[in-house]
Structure 1
């Protein structure tokens, strides 16, 4: 393991030891022995080669009315958020495979919910961490060439991006940092319980984060990947930001639990996260596009519906988004679960 961090150099903190980032009072990723135990074990449910979305590919408006909030699912954790005159992409991936190799690795089971050529002008791109299903360098290069957006990402990921897209405009945030943009838009980087790696030798050398998008028409909480971690980060986000009009929460890629539970929450935990962070509505993501773990392709939705029913939360408040689906998020209510 390298002793010098190739992506970031900076002072030690409560989540950086001078070489590697870590989850305070949390768990670090399991080692190679556990990985092999999982990969060689049984329990993987087969996925269909194709899992088409019931929605047609969307052709978004160039912008929407100032007081509206619209989310369109592209696939996995890639969402188009349109709010207050801004067009924002989260963790954009148009690649066929999420892998360091073009010929092997998890392959896309459905088409992107928006063709790249049909995107409206993109102002802002949020990249939560450097795993291949969240940071796709070819996609970022294409977006930069066509739209020249501002890319916001946690510490160290800028180095990775700039090697492939040297002229990109990038703002780099640590946990707790904020970035004030024009027209009262503010981006906050907040903790989540995860990890990072692009290969076998760079584990935890770039930071991972969730983002809060603060707008005049409500706050949005985007979590790319996280373990539930006892709800600590959700409750902290609620305490700091006072609840959310919308949270984008992962609820797939969670089996087997002995291996995944520290860093990928399951549907029941995602529902509890919705409650803990005081989100009026949730755009559920991280399921049905790339087969990363053992559960069946539609198992997350079935488990989500059961968890919502048990929590007495209307299913319409937590939507399991499919590629091409458009969600016009209602205004915040005065009461929350």
Structure 2
């Protein structure tokens, strides 16, 4: 059993960060940009790094142990150090994205497999798991046993395009579940996006809007430390997320249809739609791709709205927001928080 204690790395110190990056590069790995805590184990006599790991919020990542030190209990030291840090932050549930070849390594530390693809594996550990989370969701949102349609949306912000897509699903199904991506990687915070979607669908009595929870993965936080090539990473992300949705959400909540909007522009969303087409039929789920609602011969999209919001005196210059946004979103933009977000967007764009 290795006795050296893990040391905390000051990621704001360029020299300390570069030392970790150099060690990872030796194993064809990188230090993901979103890590917020890193520890290392050093060779006592030489003071050189022989192992490291990091976390980004509750995701453990960027593991590497020198080949000659493997099998000496260092992995246990690293995981214990990260779990202790999570506990100190009041976090009692964590994930690991890793290579499929490492499943046994982390299973030995009570990490439970969620799903594995040829490129990536996702495991979890903590006070709850995906099955118990979905059972709690069913109870809290009074989700029945009948067949359902589902949509997953970011709504950054909620537009008439989102509303139209939900209305199309609502017209053709007895019950529709709309999952709003809970991960805060967007201009508009989750609470605001969720509120806009709830109010923007209030007229649809067979629609329920739900938080997505932790198990719908964001491309923004998908790991790159062992999948550095962008195309490889995109393929792995879309396949894993689509599989988790089919394997768990659809089975537990009796979802038999999923609706998406056609995507002519965004490469990530287009790839994700293609992954859904390929994966969901394996779980008895049919994908419906709906033509996007247009205005002035272009799809109504959240990115289009954000571009408009970057411009000063929007109403005076364009007068078009009421053609693109439902009243719920327009009302939010007039609120103090909405004004702050627009000001922040304008400030960031002026600095570019």
The structure with the greater share of residues assigned to helix is 2
Normalised to the residue count of structure 1, the TM-score between the two structures is 0.25
Normalised to the residue count of structure 2, the TM-score between the two structures is 0.25
Rg larger in structure: 2
Relative contact order (C-alpha < 8 Å, sep 6+): which is higher? 1
